[in-house]
Amino acid sequence: MVSHSLPPIGPETEFLLLIYHLIIIPAIIIDLYVGQKMDHDMKMSEALGWVAIWISLASLWGVYILFRFGVEASALYFASYIVEYSLSMDNLFVFLVIFQYFGVPFKSQHKTLYIGIITAIILRGLFIFGGIALIEMYHWVVYIFAIILIISGIKLAMSGETKVEPERNPVVRLAKKYFPIVSEYHGSKFIVRNKGKLFFTPLIIVLLAIETTDVMFAFDSVPAVIAISQNFFIAYTSNISAVLGLRSLYFALALVMFRLKYLGKGLAIVLTFLGIKIFLPLVGIKIPLALSLGVVFGIIFISIILSLLKRD
């Protein structure tokens, strides 16, 4: 029998989170093993195959939520998943620019990218837990999240082509100054031994640039998911499900160098809408959940369709 309530905090959801991790952790290990054992550049068919696997796992979890907790919980899960996946897709182009800037060989990108994704999973889990806990203790914190969303939406709407300047990153600058670094890459190694001494490879600088970028991404994406649902089970599993498939999605995007032209603008509208929606009850306006989710799904769908129709 299908329940029609959101997953409550308690032993049941703790058990379901255990099941969730028992599903995704083996998949992560397999994906990492495959990525590290590659002796060739990833082909488009391989990249798309892994993208399909991760999307299928995320979708199956959403279907399980549908049958276990009902339509509302499932709709919130998929809305959060699609928003986070879309934000992550846009952010992957920043990773691509970083790799290009440092001239990282394609085969050397796998481990760095995967460590960045694992860090993103940990950061988002902590941010979601902390954000929801803060809202439960101090409800006014939700308005801070709303302001962050509106500012992020406006910033995204006004931005043009992605511009990344890793040389201005203070962490990267400090590492270059104080770390003993060799000049050439050594596959996917971060540390090598030269004449009995240990040295970092340039890949450690790339990793630092990726990691610090991850922190900034979390500040944008986590408030967006919490604005859709403040239920930890929904927010956490949807967010993590979206982040998991980024390695294969990155290589698919890198191989075709194709950007969804209007996705950024669509996301800007979604973020701004979610931020404004939080303030509307203060003036007596409450947007029904179905309408709110319809707006989120509709804007992202339209932006993707328009992008596919205009690929110049």
Is residue 91 domain-resident?
A: yes
Its pTM stands at 0.79
DSSP notation for 170-199: HHHHHHHHHS-B-SS--TT-SEEEETTEEE
Is residue 269 domain-resident?
A: no
Give pairs for 163-171: CB < 8 Å, separation 24+: 164/94, 164/97, 164/98, 164/101, 166/98, 166/101, 166/102, 166/205, 166/209, 169/208, 169/209, 169/212, 171/208, 171/209, 171/211, 171/212
pLDDT at position 3: 42
- For residue 96, give its domain range: 11-258
E strand or H helix that includes residue 200? strand 197-200
The confidence band for 60, taking pLDDT boundaries of 50, 70 and 90, is: very high
Is residue 266 domain-resident?
A: no
Distances (CA, A) of 19 to 13, 122, 265: 10, 18, 37
Is residue 90 domain-resident?
A: yes
The confidence band for 36, taking pLDDT boundaries of 50, 70 and 90, is: low
pLDDT at position 245: 74
- Smallest CA-to-CA distance from 213 within 255, 251, 163 is with 163
pLDDT at 287 over 60: yes
Q: Which residue has the tokens 């939080």?
A: 278
Is residue 284 domain-resident?
A: no
Distances (CA, A) of 157 to 71, 86, 89, 213, 287: 32, 15, 16, 19, 23
Q: What is the pLDDT of residues 217-256, one digit of tens each?
A: 777 677 888 888 888 889 889 988 888 777 777 777 776 6
Tell me how far apart the alpha carbons of residues 311 and 110 are, in angstroms, rounded to a whole number: 28
Percent of the chain with pLDDT over 70: 83
pLDDT at 213 over 50: yes
Is residue 216 domain-resident?
A: yes
Q: Which residues contact 145 (CB under 8 A, 6 or more apart)?
A: 131, 135, 223, 226, 227, 275, 278
Q: What is the number of domains present in the chain?
A: 1
Is residue 300 domain-resident?
A: no
169 half-sphere exposure, CB direction, 13 A CA radius: 22
Q: What is the pLDDT of residues 86-145, one digit of tens each?
A: 887 767 777 777 777 777 777 777 778 778 778 877 887 888 888 888 887 888 888 888
pLDDT at 190 over 50: yes
Is residue 117 domain-resident?
A: yes
pLDDT at position 38: 57
- Mean pLDDT throughout 163-185? 66
